[in-house]
Amino acid sequence: MNVLLLLACGLLISLTYALGKLATQAGVEGIELLFWQISGSVLIVLPSAWWAGQLPKLRKDHVRYYTLAGLMGFTGPYLITYWVLNYIPSGLVGVVASLSPLLTFAIVLVLFRGKANFTSGLGLVLGFAGVLAILLPKNSLPSPEMFIWVLLACASPLLLAIGNVYRTRAWPANGKPLQMAAGLLTSQWALLLPVYAVTQPVGLPTQALFTVMSIAVVSGFFYLISFELQRRTTPVFVGQLGYVIALCSLLIGILFFNETPSLWVWAGAALIAVGVYWVSNSKSVGGTA
């Protein structure tokens, strides 16, 4: 059952990237797409939190946590992702996104003097070798102009990694996962609402309506399933989500967008996957991020 939940989470995230690609191709801007995505997530997660008796608390430390964790772990990464999806394949976005566990581990090592054993250290090296395999070879990317956009896409997992460390270090006393999720999503919805109202047109393009609503539903169910996964398993197990996302994103890109990843991209994805696996299963400090 736990493996199925892990696969479901990876597939839902990959679907979000694919649907985001369709929406941006239909002319939906990142802020608009993110607002409707988070609206759907709130409509699914907030009632679930109420049903479980875990409504968000409005204490100062909780509100600060919701806001900062949401900016680093949701709003920032998704805005970057939806921006770069205009310029690079969705499968490649998914591969880059899978770097989050490796970057989390690297931050812990640098800032908090974590200790790396041989396996986790090698995993970190392999992960970044995978990125170089995608970025550096001349024929790796479909177009040389994509280099800068792939590099920019790396800012998304970096923000996620910073958010991972912050969530662990700043988790409010007695905070419950579903409560924190509902508070995080609601805070980001409240922040995005005035921005959306001022900057975006009244209605979505007709051709993108179904796609955007699908993203909202997929995102909401991802949060519910991911918290059940966290409840049933360990951070080590959840950390393996990265290479599920990479593989699912590449396959969805091939099947639905006729994307043709080069051998360098496949090799890079494989190196990243192995790196994530070794770091996630390491017993060193930071290996459970």
Q: Does 103 score more than 80 pLDDT?
A: yes
CA separation for the pair 35, 72 (Å, rounded) = 16
Name the pLDDT band for 116 (thresholds 50, 70, 90): low
The least confident of 20-24, 90-94, 173-177 is: 173-177
69 CB-side CA count, 13 A: 24
Roughly what angle, to the nearest 10 degrees, separates helices 2-25 and 241-257?
40
73 CB-side CA count, 13 A: 23
What digits encode the pLDDT tens for the residues 243-286?
A: 788 889 999 999 988 898 999 999 988 988 888 877 777 655 44
Residue 289 lies in a domain: no
- Joined together, the tokens standing for residue 67 give 């806001």
Residue 100 lies in a domain: yes
Residue 287 lies in a domain: no
What is the per-residue pLDDT for 284?
A: 53
Q: Answer yes or no: are the C-beta atoms of 69 and 184 closer than 8 Å.
A: yes
Return the DSSP state at 217. H
Query: How many domains is the chain partitioned into structurally?
Result: 1
What is the per-residue pLDDT for 112?
A: 72
SS3 state of residue 256: helix
Q: Does 288 score more than 50 pLDDT?
A: no
Start-to-end C-alpha separation, the chain: 22
Residue 233 lies in a domain: yes
Residue 194 lies in a domain: yes
Q: Does 177 score more than 60 pLDDT?
A: yes
Q: Answer yes or no: are the C-beta atoms of 156 and 81 closer than 8 Å.
A: yes
What is the per-residue pLDDT for 33?
A: 92
What digits encode the pLDDT tens for the residues 9-53?
A: 889 999 999 999 999 988 888 898 999 999 999 999 999 999 999
Mean pLDDT, the chain, whole residue set? 86
Q: Does 242 score more than 80 pLDDT?
A: no
Whole-structure pTM value:
0.88
Query: What residue numbers bound the domain in which 185 lies?
Result: 2-280
Residue 196 lies in a domain: yes
Residue 286 lies in a domain: no
Residue 288 lies in a domain: no
**In angstroms, what is the C-alpha Rg of the chain?**
18
The share of the chain scoring above pLDDT 90, in percent, equals 42
**What mean pLDDT comes out for the span 179-183?**
91
